[in-house]
Amino acid sequence: MSQTDTRVDRVGARPTLGRARPYWTTRRRDQLTGYLFIAPQLLGSAVFVILPLILVVWYSLHEWNVLAGTFEFVGTENYSALAEDTNLGPVLRATGLFSVGLVVFNLALALLLAVLLNQKLRGTIVFRTLFFSPVVVSLVAWTIVWGFLLQDNGGINGLLDTIGVDGPNWLRGETTAMISVVVVQVFKNVGLNMVLFLAALQGVPAELYEAAEVDGAGRLRQFRRITVPMISPTILLTSIITVVGSLQVFAQIAVLTQGGPGTSTTVLVYYLYQQAFQFHHFGYGATLSIVLFGIVLALTVLQWQMRRRWVHHES
């Protein structure tokens, strides 16, 4: 029984003509309506998020041979195998490189675009639409088209050729392949971060800039001292979204490089897929997904903790 109910009882201590209080009070009815509204979402989370999460932990303690249909408990064997896996080092390195490249390039470009498109100039709406449109394009279609463009005799090198530059074989060199997957991913999603930054920029009161100007602050100083602090909650949000998204990259790798050349673009999610679905090591694959979960969780907690230092205000 909640405090409110007790209070209602006290208020209702007036003569009640001996009738019992009805069970379906307005409060209970409101509560039920609320639960019914969130039930579909809650059910979805329970079935498609929480249950699989529990199952993954369970699978990681087993050796599961899909073809033979065997499912044996192996304890922490899959976890000790992590230490002996010689591929894991290069995979984590590729994952780190991809994430750092993506986050830095994406946020920098998104902020730059947002600042440019925040000017009151003719045609900015067209440009905003243009930069946002890749966000709504199918990821696989987007990647396949880029795959054609990045071929040795593809569109990019064709363009470079017209200005006399002999372009590299983008997807076949270890460094250029990594740069390519980062760029393809940045161009796909930069529009989303750009829109978030744009909204934040438009929320910065114009008086602050006017006051700063009166005080003699230049454009760069205004950006550093006013814009960045004022949009810091959005910077935090976009960096969390981008870091988490970067650790989940899969389709681009599967379509463009399949983890190659060598293992230069084999990021953790792709390696996990290879282990579980291609090599049929489902137990080990589940263990790798827990490693990934740990990394995502740790980075998110870290960013959340760091917000006190650099997020200047929170609404």
Using CB under 8 A as the criterion, what x/- string covers residues 69-88 for binding other proteins?
A: x-------------------
Is residue 47 near other proteins by the rule CB under 8 A? yes
Among 250, 263, 299, 303, which residue interacts with other proteins (rule: CB under 8 A)?
Answer: 263
Token pair of 127 as six digits:
């440009």
The residue among 172 and 307 lying less far from other proteins, judged by its C-beta, is 172
- In angstroms, the CA 96 to CA 111 distance is 22
Taking CB under 8 A as the rule, does residue 46 contact other proteins?
A: yes
# residues near other proteins by CB under 8 A: 37
Q: For the CB of residue 2, give the shortest distance to other proteins in the complex, in Å.
A: 5
Q: Which stretch binds other proteins (CB under 8 A): 14-22, 127-135, 244-252, 255-263?
A: 255-263
Q: Which stretch binds other proteins (CB under 8 A): 72-80, 227-235, 245-253, 261-269?
A: 261-269
Phi and psi torsions of 314, nearest 5°: -130, 135
SS (H, E, C) the chain: CCHHHHHHHHHCCCCCCCCCCCCCCHHHHHHHHHHHHHHHHHHHHHHHHHHHHHHHHHHCCEEEECCCCEEEECCCHHHHHHHHCCCHHHHHHHHHHHHHHHHHHHHHHHHHHHHHHCCCCCCHHHHHHHHHHHHHCCHHHHHHHHHHHCCCCCHHHHHHHHCCCCCCCCCCCHHHHHHHHHHHHHHHHHHHHHHHHHHHHHCCCHHHHHHHHHCCCCHHHHHHHHHHHHCHHHHHHHHHHHHHHHHCCCHHHHHHCCCCCCCCCCCHHHHHHHHHHHCCCHHHHHHHHHHHHHHHHHHHHHHHHHHHHHCCCCC
Toward other proteins, which CB reaches closer, 71 or 132?
A: 71
Contacting residue, 79, 236, 260, 296, with other proteins by CB under 8 A: 260
Report the residue number, 41 or 119, with the smaller CB distance to other proteins: 41
217-222 LR contacts (CB < 8 Å, sep 24+): none
Site for other proteins contains 118 (CB under 8 A): no
Q: Which stretch binds other proteins (CB under 8 A): 12-20, 106-114, 147-155, 237-245?
A: 147-155
Q: How far is the CB of 143 from other proteins (least distance, A)?
A: 15
Q: Which stretch binds other proteins (CB under 8 A): 62-70, 107-115, 136-144, 191-199?
A: 62-70
Instruction: Give whichever of 105 and 271 is closer to other proteins, judged by the CB atom.
Output: 271
Q: Across the strands, what pairs with 70? A: 65
* Residue 2 binding other proteins, by CB under 8 A: yes
The answer to whether residues 217 and 297 touch, using CB atoms and an 8 Å cutoff, is: no
Shortest distance (Å) from residue 41 CB to other proteins: 11
Q: Within 151-210, which residues bind other proteins (CB under 8 A)?
A: 151-154, 169-172
Maximum distance among all Cα pairs of the chain, rounded to whole angstroms: 96
- In the list 12, 25, 29, 35, the residue contacting other proteins (rule: CB under 8 A) is 35
Nearer Cβ to other proteins, position 3 or 162?
3
For other proteins, the binding residues (CB under 8 A) are 1-3, 35, 39, 42-43, 46-47, 51, 64-69, 150-154, 169-172, 258-263, 274, 277-280, 282
